[in-house]
Structure 1
Amino acid sequence: MEAFRRDATGHQMNRFGMPLHKPKDMIMKPILRRMTLLIAATLSLIVAGALPAPAITGGEPDGNRHPNVALIAFYLDGNGPYTCSATLISPTVLLTAGHCTVGTSGVTLVTFDPVIAEEPPFPLPFAADPTVGYTAEELEAADQLWGTPTAHTEVNFMDRSRLNDVGIIVLHDRVTTITPATLAPVGYLDQFKSPRLSKTLFELVGYGTEVRKAETGPQKPQPMAYPLIRRTTTSPGQKLTPYILQLQGNPNDNRGGGGTCFGDSGGPVFLNGYLVAVTSYGFNGICRYIDGYQRVDTALVQNWLIP
């Protein structure tokens, strides 16, 4: 894939360091299989006939409204750093997309800064050896938070009929200054089936590219790599299946503010204060159509997170 270059509280815990508790009672190719890779100047949108993982189109800078949403960076196949978005769900665990954790090299860099860079160059550190990826030693030397990526044991982002595009980052150090997001109870989204779904606005957050007209050259709106910041928008429901939530991501739809695009993969979808889904895929290269999100209010996801 081408892209940007080079690029003790006393509670019982599960294997991911999360508190033990019970939750409340593709005709198309997988468009967002991978994430944005930072290269010297431009962002590539195409890989192997599919588009990389979706960024917020429309919307506005998030600032400190969602401090528990992070940017994660990592290496894959000797290239990187790639970036995705993720959400803190416990002091030591971030929830993200499975395709942001499968096959990565080394450990994963994590930052909760709402503004990464207003303009080039990419300010985060690069791995000394891209084939090895980030090491804990070099990220600690650079004073960067890091964690270990793990994909769901039944991860699947190739078959939309049973999508399970979920992974986690288990942090080396506890985050005690940020309140984790709350996972929706199992089956929470089932009450929002049509016709209620299209009248429901979901909140999206991520560090992906903004779609806008270039300052010079062709004036067709396109994904822009900078500023690299946390953004947020709203999007109305379009379709709900047992595994997938699809939203209408066109910023010209007067029911919502936009959708997701390249780099938002793994970022959260919020509804009524609950984390209900993570960004997984999209249907076109200019991020102005329907976007797909992996539901996390499923037993398949939550039985793995909270066994």
Structure 2
Amino acid sequence: MKLLKRSTIAAATVAGILAVAASPAAAIVGGRDATHAYPGMTFVGVLYPGIGTAQCGGTLITPRVVLTAAHCVSDEFVAPQVEAVPAERITVHIGSNDRTAGIVATAEKVWLHPDWQWLEQPAGTPVSDLALVKLTQPVPAGLMPVGARQARPSEPLRLIGWGLTQYPVPAGYPLPTMLQQRTITVLPAAACQGGLIGPGETCTSTGACFGDSGSPALTWHPGRHPRWEEVGLGSRETSDPQDPNANPCDGPMIYTNVAYPPFRTWIADTIRAGHTRGCLCRPTVRSLDKKASARLDRLKPHLTR
């Protein structure tokens, strides 16, 4: 078994939320305000009572289902066991580049990919950092198509999200509201070996940062009906966790490859069946030690609206 030792781009322990709260967040590093609307782009807020609301991104892929990262909607307070956050604590904003606006909806159910785990992953198997959030009612908004073709090295991708624009964040930096975008490049998997990249994942150049978890990587699909398609969602960074001076937002990033055929099949089958199969992985049941806790740096920004 290999230890998944990299921090996720966003996460959820009390310490992590409070630490980031002291330095308010901005959005994608090196990006700019989105130049147009992206159908289905979703702000995902997860409430932690008495602490605040943790920030992630997602995409509306059916009128009632949002695709996001598994670590965004897994309950960190029971880690390393895997359990979804209570659905009623998840609120989404859809249909606006302003994360505080748009159509507001709440969750009814959370489906975590059955092979997702917090800490340990059998060698050579996908990390499977993806989840589906079923909403209480359909949302009358545009949908984001899930791409069928996997992105290749050197191919450009468009990242969008409401994560940090710089790291570390200067004190008093204004909290962002507008969606950011940046065009980046797909890198060979070897560039992300520091993050333990595996099957079903894509290595990208710098751009995403904390708060961009679950947000999409898009490819432009030309032709008779040109459109953006989602081929990835933000999972984790690749910096050296032993280096106190490392900038986690200044290196390659790992995105879950949602065009990976087994993941596309899981998404379609789960939506159609209304449930997902049990975990195929070996359950993780031990307590977190100090080393493991450090590797699970929780980095969802604490938001005040």
**Fold similarity call, TM over 0.5:** yes
Q: Normalized per residue, which structure has more helix?
A: 2
Residue 150 and residue 80 in structure 1: after superposition, are their counterparts in 2 closer, same or farther (change >3 A)? farther
Runs of 4+ in 1 over 6 A off after TM superposition: 212-217
1:114 equivalent in alignment to 2:83? no
Higher strand share: 1
TM-score for both structures, normalised by structure 2: 0.64
Is 1:291 matched up with 2:244?
no
Which residue number in structure 2 is paired with residue 97 of structure 1? 69
Structure 1 unaligned runs (5+)?
1-25, 46-53, 118-122, 124-142, 218-223, 250-258
Is the 8 Å Cα contact of residues 38 and 81 (structure 1) preserved in structure 2? no
Find out whether 1:282 has 2:240 as its counterpart.
no
- Of 213, 217, 241, which residue of structure 2 is paired with 1:265? 213
Identity in percent = 21
Which structure carries more relative contact order (alpha carbon 8 Å, separation 6+)?
2
Residue pairs, 1:152-231, within 5 angstroms:
152-156=113-117, 158=119, 159=121, 161=124, 162-176=126-140, 178-185=141-148, 188-189=149-150, 192=152, 197-198=153-154, 200-211=155-166, 226-231=175-180
- Contact 2:87–2:107 (8 Å) recurs in 1: no
Aligned: 1:29 with 2:12: no
Q: Distance in 1 between matches of 2:31 and 2:135?
A: 30
Measure, in 2, the Cα distance between the counterparts of 1:226 and 1:77. Answer: 21
SS in 1 for 2:150: helix
C-alpha deviation, 1:154, in angstroms: 2.0
Q: Which moved more, 1:105-114 or 1:143-152?
A: 143-152
Tell me the number of residue pairs that the alignment of Structure 1 and Structure 2 aligns.
Answer: 227
**Cα gap change, 1:214/1:71 in structure 2, threshold over 3 Å: closer, same or farther?**
closer
- Residue 151 of structure 1: aligned partner: 112
CA distance, structure 2, for counterparts of residue 290 and residue 245 of structure 1: 10
Shift of 1:214: 6.7
| 1:232 match: secondary structure | strand
Give 1:78 shift. Answer: 6.2
Q: Report matched runs for 1:53-64 at 5 Å.
A: 55-62=27-34, 64=36
Q: Against the structure 1 CA distance between its residues 27 and 172, is the aligned structure 2 distance closer, same or farther, given a 3 Å change threshold? A: closer
AA aligned to 1:114 is N
Secondary structure, in 3 states, of the residue corresponding to 2:86?
strand
Q: What RMSD, in angstroms, separates the aligned Cα atoms of the two structures?
A: 3.3
- Structure 1 residues 76 and 154: CA distance shift in structure 2, 3 A: farther
Q: Does structure 1 conserve the Cα–Cα contact (< 8 Å) formed by 2:58 and 2:66? A: yes
After TM superposition, the structure 1 = structure 2 runs for residues 218-257 of structure 1, keeping only pairs within 5 Å, are 226-240=175-189, 242-249=199-206
Q: Give the secondary-structure state (helix, strand or coil) at the position aligned to 2:250.
A: coil
Q: Distance in 1 between matches of 2:20 and 2:157?
A: 34
Match of 1:132 in 2: none
- SS of the residue aligned with 1:228? coil
In the TM superposition, residue 171 of structure 1 has moved relative to its aligned partner by: 1.1
Residue identity in the other structure for 1:155: W
Cα deviation, 1:62-103, whole Å, max 9, x if unaligned, reads: 254214111111135864311100001111111000101112
| Stretch moving more, 236-245 or 200-209 | 236-245
Q: CA deviation at 1:41?
A: 5.1
TM-superposed CA distance for 1:116, in Å, is: 3.7
User: Residue 38 and residue 106 in structure 1: after superposition, are their counterparts in 2 closer, same or farther (change >3 A)?
Assistant: farther
Taking structure 1 as reference, are residues 298 and 41 closer, same or farther at Cα in structure 2, changes over 3 Å only? Answer: closer
The one-letter amino acid paired with 1:296 is V
